[in-house]
Structure 1
Amino acid sequence: MNVNRRQAMGQIIGLVSVAAGGGIMATAMAADTCPGDISIGIGSEGTSDLAANLLTYVKVEPLAVAKRAYEDYGKGGCMYGVFDAIVKELAAQGHEDACKFAAIPTNITVYGAGGIAGWGTLCGCLNAAAMAVNMLAGVDRNKVIRSVYHYYESTAMPRGDSEFLSAIGAPTRKTDAGELLTADKIGQSVAKSILCHTSVTLWSKQSKFGTSHPAKLERCAQVTAEIAYTTVDFLNKALDNTLDVATAAEGNSDCAGCHSSTKREPDTYFATDVNAQMECQTCHSEHDVTAGLTGAHEGFTCSDCH
C-alpha cells in the first residue's frame, strides 16, 4: 500500500493523535507508509450525528477477518478479537481511510473479555461488533448491529464445519488427554441471549466441560471468529443493499401488543413497558391471563389486549 501523505492528512477531522510508544501501536503496514501524526478523525463533539465523521467502509474478506479474530482471542479476549480483526483488515485494504483505521488503538477493547471485566454481561464479541460498525459510513449501522445481535442469540454456535475451522486454523487447544478439541467434542449451543453468562453457561451444560477448561477457551475463540465473520458478511451485504436477515425474534411481536414502549403516565398505565429488541421468551414464558396473575392481567382475556 502507498498512501499519499497529503491525501491522508486532508481527511483529518479529529483531534486525537496516535500516541508514540506506550503499547498503542498500528499495524506493521501502517508503520511504514502512514504519517506518524495522523488523527483518527471520528467523533461528533457531543452530538448524536456522526455522519460527517465516519470512516469509509470497503468490502473485506470474511474468512480473513475470522482468522485474525481467532488468533486475536488468545491475545486479548473476545472483544479485542472481533474489533482488532475488523479494524486491522480494513487498515490493510489501502483505501482512503486506511491510515485512520491503522491509527485506532484496538487494545482499548480488552476490557470486554468475559462480558466486561468478567462480569458476564454483554458478550465482548457483540460489544466489539457494535463499536466497529458504529464508525462506518455507507451502511445501515443499526440494521447491521441488530442483525448480528439476533444471529448471536438465535444461532447454534460455534459453527464447527471443517471448511471454516480449517480456514481459521482451529482447533489449537487440547483435552487433558492431549487430544485436539475437535468440533464433535466442543459441540454447539444456542445462547438465547446476548449475555456472556447465559451463552457460556448453556454451552457448558451442553458440552459437559467446565468453564475453566481449555475447551471453553477454544469454544469462545471460535465464536469470536464466527461473530467477526458474520459482522463483515452483513456489512458487505449492507454495502450492496442486500442484507435481508431477521433483526429480532419473530415471537417478540406477540409480546409487543401490550409491552411496547409508550408515553403513558400513571393514570393510563396498564401493562409494563418494554423498550428492547432482545428475545422476550428467553427470560419470560408466555403467560396465561387466567392463571391468577396480578396487576394489569387480572380479569383480562387474551382478546382484551391482542
Structure 2
Amino acid sequence: MKDEKKEISRREILIGTGKIAAGAAIVSVGAAGLIAPRSSKAAQFPWGYTKLDVQHVGDIAYEEWYKNFCCQAVVTGLIKPLQQKMGEPYASLPLDAFKWGHGGGVGWGTLCGSLNGAGMATGFIAGPEGEKIINDVIAWYAGTELPIYKPASPKGNFRNVNQSDSPLCHISVGKWMEKEGVKFFSPERKERCARISADVAMKTASLLNDWADGKYKPAHGSNVKDNGITTQENCMECHGDKVPTPIT
C-alpha cells in the first residue's frame, strides 16, 4: 500500500511538472508573439517609396517639430505618409527612435538634426542610392537662404532668413540668432527651426519624387574627392588659418 501511494505521488509530481513546463512553453511562445514584428515576411531593403505630396510632408514636419524637434520632425514628415500609403515595414518603424538627433545630436551642435532626419529616412527609402540625395540636400541647405516654408497657421514670427554656408547646427542657428538678435530658447528661434525642418523635409521629398520618376540627377559632387579630406565648404570660418590639410 505504501509503495502504491509512493507511485501515485511520484506520478502526480511528474504530471504537475509537465503541466508547469507546458505552461512555461505557452507563456514563452506568447511573449515571443507579442514582440514579433507585425509582418512575418522579412522586409527587403531598401523599403521602397511612393511619391508624396511635398506640401503635406512639410506641414507634418512643421507640426512635429513642436512635439519632438528637428530630427524626428523630418523623419515623421517623410515616413508617416509612407506608413499610411505603404503599410509595412514602415508601419512598424517607431518614429520616437529619432528624437535624439535634435540640436545636432542631443544639443552638440554637429550636423543639423533636420539633415540627420532626412538622411535616415532616405536610407530606409532608397538604401545606398539615398546617399546622393542627402548629399544634394545638405549642399542645398548650406547654400540657400532659409527658412522658405510659410505655415498656414504660424506658431511664431521672426524677421530674418539666412544662408548658413554650413550644415552644422551650431553655425547655422548661431548666424541666424546673431542676425535676428535673439537667444536660443526664444520663440523666434523655435519657429525658425520648425520651418527649416519643414523645408528640409520638403526638399528631400521633392528629390525623392524625381528619383521615383527616374528623373533625379545628382547635383553636388564629393567633398572628400574634391578636397582630399572630409570637409564642408567654409573651413576658414571656424578654423581660421589652422585648417586641417591632407598629406600629399
Task: Please give the TM-score of this superposition, normalised by the length of structure 1.
Answer: 0.62
**Cα drift, residue 158 of structure 1:** 0.2
The equivalent of 1:150 in structure 2 is: 139
Higher relative contact order (CA 8 A, sep 6+): 2
**Cα drift, residue 243 of structure 1:** 2.4
Greater helix fraction, Structure 1 or Structure 2: 2
Larger Rg: 2
Q: Please give the alpha-carbon distance, in whole angstroms, between the structure 2 residues aligned to 1:130 and 1:280.
A: 21
SS in 2 for 1:84: helix
- Decide whether the 8 Å contact of 2:166 with 2:234 is kept in 1: no
Identity among equivalent pairs (%): 28
The equivalent of 1:231 in structure 2 is: 204
Q: Please give the alpha-carbon distance, in whole angstroms, between the structure 1 residues aligned to 2:118 and 2:33.
A: 24
The equivalent of 1:116 in structure 2 is: 105
- CA 1:193–1:17 in structure 2 vs 1: closer, same or farther (change >3 Å)? farther
The reply to whether residue 57 of structure 1 matches residue 46 of structure 2 is: no
Q: How many residues get paired?
A: 215
- Decide whether the 8 Å contact of 1:192 with 1:282 is kept in 2: no
The reply to whether residue 134 of structure 1 matches residue 123 of structure 2 is: yes
Q: Please give the alpha-carbon distance, in whole angstroms, between the structure 1 residues aligned to 2:246 and 2:39.
A: 58
SS in 1 for 2:89: helix
User: Residue by residue, what CA displacement relative to the aligned partner does 1:156-214 show, whole Å, maximum 9, x if unpaired?
Assistant: 1001xxxx52xx434212xxxxxxx1xxx331011211111111001111111221110
- CA 1:60–1:286 in structure 2 vs 1: closer, same or farther (change >3 Å)? same
Q: Please give the alpha-carbon distance, in whole angstroms, between the structure 2 residues aligned to 1:285 and 1:84.
A: 35
**Cα drift, residue 54 of structure 1:** 1.5
The equivalent of 2:74 in structure 1 is: 82
The equivalent of 1:204 in structure 2 is: 177
**Cα drift, residue 38 of structure 1:** 2.7
SS in 2 for 1:56: coil
Q: Please give the alpha-carbon distance, in whole angstroms, between the structure 1 residues aligned to 2:113 and 2:33.
A: 26
What's the Cα RMSD here? 3.3
- Structure 1 stretches of 4+ with a deviation exceeding 6 A read 284-287
The equivalent of 2:233 in structure 1 is: 279
**Cα drift, residue 242 of structure 1:** 2.0
- CA 1:190–1:135 in structure 2 vs 1: closer, same or farther (change >3 Å)? same
Task: Please give the TM-score of this superposition, normalised by the length of structure 2.
Answer: 0.75
Deviates more, 1:239-248 or 1:83-92: 239-248
User: Residue by residue, what CA displacement relative to the aligned partner does 1:195-250 show, whole Å, maximum 9, x if unpaired?
Assistant: 1111100111111122111000000000000000000001011222322463259x
Q: Please give the alpha-carbon distance, in whole angstroms, between the structure 1 residues aligned to 2:187 and 2:34.
A: 36
**Cα drift, residue 19 of structure 1:** 5.3
The reply to whether residue 219 of structure 1 matches residue 192 of structure 2 is: yes
